[in-house]
Amino acid sequence: MFRARQGLVIGTNGKCPPRPMRLQVTPDTLILQKEELSYIPGNTIVENVNSIDSRERKVKIVRQKVGGLGISIKGGSEHKLPILISRITKNQAADNTGQLFVGDAILKVNDESLEGSNHDDAVNVLRNAGNNVVLTVRHYGAAAPFLKGCLKKHSNEENIHESPTLRVDEKDPQNAKMEKKWVEFISIPLLMSYITRYIPGTEKLRTDSFEVRNAEQDLTAIVQCEDERSLNDWVTTVASNITEMTYQQMKAFNKNLATADQILWMGWVEEGVEDDPVVGQYSWQPRFLALKGSDIFLMDSPPVVLITDRS
């Protein structure tokens, strides 16, 4: 029987720091959503909102001995905002690229992600990034009201390079506001997906979290729960839907098979590889097992077509 559930958890995709998220489980999908701030402008006029490309950009900066990178930043996880460029000093390193703007969100410094970082951590990363720095950025137009004070503060300084998307009308009405909304962070189809509470490759059980990977093993969601009861409820919900989806797929396969060749069971198991025979130490890897007729199939990933060959 399929189940549906929604609630607040701590989540990550294994590549960025864990952060508060909303978890939704439908009969066929697990969805992690992150919270973002969206600007509700009222009668506010924002000029040239399309003047800067909102796609990800990589910009190389050569740090100067005087002035460094030539940028100031604001935002961070403590404000529920990305790390934002709030100021660019004219004729210094960042300004000389001609490719950075106030309101750009810094996603990565070299290969280090700033997603979920607080302000102080981001400052340290930028300071220690070396002389040749590659910033991965995306323009974040919703930051206009957050950065408006920065622009007013520096409006009389000739050496400040402002973004046209952030020149907000001085007649900003009081009803303009920032509104929180949930946006998709990662979505994992539950058909023949893999769920575990163990840390990959080990026998160490996670005390407060579980992991779900898609069938191809290239998407991961790690979910941390507030207590044991919540953890058990979430694991039961997700595992039940995976089992039901897998059973429905097995029935579809069996429609084309003779009785003697029917698939009796299929699902994920853990295969142990002995690392140290003296102490009996193993490393563990997920394998997909299918019992078909009198045969046992052990695979790296679930079959996308009907199993016909022995292995």
What is the CB neighbour count within 10 angstroms for residue 130? 9
Highest mean pLDDT (candidates 125-139, 166-180, 294-308): 125-139
pLDDT grade, residue 145 (50/70/90)? low
**Statement: residue 165 has pLDDT above 60:** no
Beta bridge partners of 89: 160
Reported in sequence order, the residue ranges of the chain that DSSP labels E, i.e. its strands, are 5-12, 19-25, 29-40, 57-62, 71-76, 81-88, 104-109, 112-113, 132-139, 177-189, 194-196, 209-213, 220-224, 263-276, 281-292, 295-299
Task: Give the strand order in the sheet containing 220-224.
Answer: 177-189, 29-40, 19-25, 5-12, 220-224, 209-213, 194-196
Residue with the larger pLDDT of the pair 170 and 230: 230
What is the CB neighbour count within 10 angstroms for residue 121? 15
Full-model pTM? 0.56
Distance CA 151, CA 176 (A): 17
Q: Can you tell me the mean pLDDT for 260-281?
A: 85
**Statement: residue 238 has pLDDT above 90:** yes
pLDDT tens digit sequence for 87-110: 888 888 998 888 888 888 999 999
